[in-house]
A and B are shown apart, each in its own frame.
Chain A
Amino acid sequence: MVFSSLTFLFAFLPITLILYYLVPDKAKNVIILISGLIFYAWGEPIYVLVMIASTAIDYTAGRLIHKYDDNPKIRLVCLIVSLVMNLGLLGTFKYLGFIIESLNAWLGLAIPNPNLPLPIGISFFTFQSMSYTIDLYRRQIKVQKNPVSFIAFVTLFPQIVAGPIVRYEDIQNEIDHRTITEKMVGDGISRFIVGLGKKVLIANNIGLLWTEVKALEYGELSAVTAWIGILAFTFQIYFDFSGYSDMAIGLGKMMGFTFPENFNYPYMSHSVSEFWRRWHITLGNWFKSYIYFPLGGSRKGLPRTIINLLVVWTVTGIWHGASWNFMMWGAYFGVLIVIERLFLGKVLEKIPAFFSWLYTFVMVVFGWVLFDAVAPGTVGFGSMFSQVGTYIAAMFGGNGVFIDNTAINYIVNYGLIFAVCIFGSSDVLKNITEFIRKKAPVWVQYGFPLVNAVIMLASVAYISTSNYNPFLYFNF
């Protein structure tokens, strides 16, 4: 189920919350478990079984790691079983098809591609479960003996589909003992609505523009159109993804959980390294804890540090999807971060803040070309490069046109939405609201709930009318 649907907003959510608040504390995890399974099964009716199986194995592995605390061999075997199973699932569903296609293309083979569909959220829940067994193996957390609590941790519906990647460590106390206050629920609702508005009102809207530009012939784009297109995607992905995280964090709060933050105004960063400390924070932390540090991080000399950084970023890229462009996208950031580590970081600190921001933002935008300017289903490396290359060339006026009517039309139609995007991805609004909260008279504080209610209704107007479709008798 997706948050921005009528089924979720007006059926699943009210029923779940009412039950959740009504039942005694001890039974709340049962509601989480059941609602989580329904929520997941709504989108993946069959693969919910895969998730249940994987959760059962991780739970058992956890129990065994705990039970054989003094037997390093058994502990290691349990960890390996959990890792192989989780990575195996991820590998099979997410990467198998791509590997087979690539092998076929390179070696001229004809291995049949099983074309497995990608179960929703598999990249998230496998990472979450792994964090549990690894941390337990490292003795950083306590074992969860109650199976209901453990399954509730995995199936906690707000974060199951698209993060934030909540590690067991993050909610190990709250999963069994949590208090829900009026303020938490109120704040949670506000946060949820803000996220809903970001997704439905902003991301979907600006996303339409990117869809249009993507459908044009890259070899004919004017420079301005090419920039407008990729900037639209730059904002779309931020508002979509951070909006989703906001909704998850808000829903978590409504249920008494404090999830980790996932975004911290990434487009205000002054270096690419900083961008990655502000973008998809929980993923970055995951890779840092479980790959970068185990590889030795930056403690084993410069050459090893460089290799470690490149490995982590390439893996980060591949995590986003099984195709060359995601791998290149990751590696691109690895290279930029290595360069910053070597010398550019110091330069960026010295030059005026505007230029370090501009450098970072432009680099990130070029990154998004690698990420999304490629037609879906592109397998070949060469085809990917020619698409990306043509697009980037267009941004530099490679098609010989600086601005055309298409671009002007986009500016007129989307200018205001762009302004909202720029404003909304900076921390100006946050500073204003904080100022109001601290300095303005109390009655002004009542404006926030009212504004949120309006955002919610506006979002419903968009969600509920997506199938208003009066085209049928247009030509008759």
Chain B
Amino acid sequence: MDNMDKEKKKFFMTPAKLMIALFTVICLVIPIATAVLPKQERSENENRTLAKFPQIINQTKLDKAENFADVIGAVRWEDITVRDEDSYMDKLETYFSDHIIGRDEWVRTRNTIEMLAGKKEINEVYTLKNQMIQVFKDYDKETVNASLNAMNRFAETHPDMQCSLMIAPTAQELFSSEIPTYAGYLSEKTFIDECYKKMQGVTTIDCLSYLSGHQSDYIFYRTDHHWTSLGAYYAYCAAAKALGYSSYGVSSFNIETANSCFRGTLYSKTLDNSITPDSIDYYHLASGEPTVKMTVFDGTKETVYDSLYVRSFLDVKDKYSSFTGSNAPIVTIETDVDNGKSLLLVKDSYAHSLVPFLSKHFSKITMVDMRYINTDLSKFIDVDSYQQTLFMFNAISFSSDIHLKKILLTK
């Protein structure tokens, strides 16, 4: 025992003191640093505004207060007496967690622990060696049927229109051999086949087989749920027959790597830095690009560009949006391709990197995003003036799309 005591004296402090010191440091440094350091208003990774410090007093009411009763009335009593999600107490907790110092590092720590504990899927992202994958777990059959019926009906009511459908696979299908079957993810191939079987009067475009033939190429981003320009190029080749053009060979293009530090939506879910960042490639025709005029209508106003690439997006988090800009209700592209062909493209964001290729073969392409249009489409465009319609979605977003059926509102 004497020995132990002697030995203890050699140390600066007892284990109990060390515990107290560590606990004190953790419990003081985190809140003080959080309080003192500047706060961010937005989280780029989550694409949302972070919580503001909850106010217990309604400032406008307080300013107008004329007597004591008004002052009492300015207190948000319902926030502090009713215990629900809107309560002051919950808002304060949300504020703390939105602004805690080193928030991303805490997320990374948590995800690292999850990975170490054997979890393969984090926030619906399955991570392979150097590839993140958005997983396709389930879908509602009725939702999908409603979309399929809507397209069939559209084709039926526009007999002069040449309609086609392209459902693109996502990375999950292309990497399916590396994901164990017990993980229980659905087969996109089966899903696409089943959808295609139900189409009437609509030409279906099999881009899955085309992409599968180039499985080892860089056709899907590692950190984003979209396909790369090369992936979109193969889809463009797959669509050639249905849309009636002859596609350019890959060697006809000069490839510009516009950015090589792109970390996309899947990265945002896990913040896993071990995955190599992606490159954003632009494919320019070596023989010269057609001149384009791109008009983006965001629901209220129009913005005109003289390129399909909105390079300002390369400087922000959401670099994929540099392809024709971020999602907008209606984007009209007019080119100097002098063949008079016009295409109505009802789409999700996968189409954005496809459009630069298609633009070589059409005088006019109008991209329509039904997620942002809640009314009769013909209020904005003259549907019957188009010769062709292409419906283009990726399998996962199509499987949960509840907006496409609104196309039937079109008169």
Contacts and interface: CB of A to CB of B under 8 A. Distances in A.
B265 A186 contact: no
Interface stretch (A27-35, A235-243, A370-378, A455-463): A455-463
Given A7-B89, A45-B80, A470-B47, A448 B109 contact: no
Contacts of B28: 14
A412 B93 CA distance: 34
Contact of A468 (B46, B89, B93, B134): B46
Contact of B96 (A7, A443, A470): A7
A156 to B, nearest CB: 20
A452 interface: yes
Contact of B109 (A42, A458, A469, A472): A458
B349 interface: yes
Interface in A174-196: 182-183, 185-187, 189-190, 193
Q: Which of A10, A189, A193 has the most CB of B within 10 A?
A: A10
A464 B102 CA distance: 10
Interface stretch (B9-17, B187-195, B201-209, B273-281): B9-17
Contacts of B10: 442
B46 A470 contact: yes
Contact of A461 (B106, B121, B327): B106
Contacts of A7: 89, 92-93, 96
Contact of A456 (B26, B118, B318): B26
Contact of B48 (A1, A414, A458, A472): A472
A392 B119 CA distance: 28
A187 B45 CA distance: 40
B106 A45 contact: no
A190 B400 contact: no
Contact of A45 (B81, B107, B113, B349): B81
Contacts of A443: 11
B182 interface: yes
Interface of B is mostly: helix
Nearest to A45: B81
Contacts of B72: none
Given A442-B11, A465-B107, A190 B19 contact: yes
Interface residues of B, number: 69
Contacts of B118: 412-417
Nearest to B28: A14
Given A190-B19, A458-B109, A6 B93 contact: yes
Interface string A218-257: 0000000000000000000000000000000000000000
Contacts of A183: 14, 16
A452 B80 contact: no
A465 B96 CA distance: 10
A15 B296 CA distance: 54
A42 B4 CA distance: 46
Interface string A404-444: 01101100111111000000000000000000000001110
A160 to B, nearest CB: 16
A353 B180 CA distance: 40
B100 A186 contact: no
A118 to B, nearest CB: 12
A273 interface: no
Contacts of B82: 45
A473 interface: yes
A470 B97 contact: no
B15 A449 contact: yes
A92 interface: no
A467 B182 contact: no
Contacts, number: 167
A5 interface: yes
A474 interface: yes
A471 B34 CA distance: 25
Contacts of A466: 97
Given A461-B113, A464-B97, A472-B46, A413 B8 contact: no
A203 to B, nearest CB: 14
Contacts of B94: 467
A385 to B, nearest CB: 30
A186 B17 contact: yes
A171 B140 CA distance: 58
Q: Which of A189, A452, A470 has the most CB of B within 10 A?
A: A470
A461 B110 contact: yes
Contacts of B184: 405-406, 409
A408 B182 contact: yes
Contacts of A186: 14-17, 19-20
Contacts of B7: 441-442
A16 B258 CA distance: 55
Nearest to A10: B31
B23 interface: yes
Contacts of A105: none
Given A449-B15, A457-B26, A473-B265, A10 B96 contact: yes
Given A461-B110, A470-B268, A452 B83 contact: no
B36 interface: no
B76 interface: no
A446 B22 CA distance: 12
Contacts of B45: 470
A182 B17 contact: yes
Nearest to A462: B110
Contacts of B22: 449-450, 452-453
A448 B47 contact: no
B98 interface: yes
A475 B123 contact: no
Contacts of B14: 182-183, 186
Nearest to A416: B118
B117 A205 contact: yes
Given A14-B28, A408-B182, A469 B46 contact: yes
B37 interface: no
B28 to A, nearest CB: 6
A462 B111 CA distance: 9
Contacts of B261: none
Interface in A41-64: 42-46
A412 B120 contact: yes
B269 interface: yes
A456 B118 CA distance: 21
Contacts of A5: 93
B106 A417 contact: no
Interface string B140-183: 00000000000000000000000000000000000000001111
A467 B26 contact: no
A13 B182 contact: no
B286 interface: no
A173 interface: no
Contacts of A442: 4, 7-8, 10-11
A448 B19 contact: yes
Contacts of A471: 123-124, 269
Contacts of A476: 326-327, 349, 371
Given A10-B30, A13-B27, A189-B23, A46 B89 contact: no
A37 to B, nearest CB: 14
B256 to A, nearest CB: 25
B212 interface: no
16 contacts: A6-B96, A13-B27, A14-B31, A189-B20, A205-B117, A405-B184, A409-B183, A412-B118, A412-B120, A414-B118, A442-B7, A442-B8, A453-B26, A462-B110, A471-B124, A476-B349
Interface of A: 1, 5-7, 9-11, 13-14, 42-46, 182-183, 185-187, 189-190, 193, 201, 205, 405-406, 408-409, 412-417, 441-443, 445-446, 448-450, 452-453, 456-458, 460-476
List of 5 A-B pairs having minimum Cβ-Cβ separation, nearest first: A186-B16, A449-B19, A10-B31, A408-B182, A461-B109
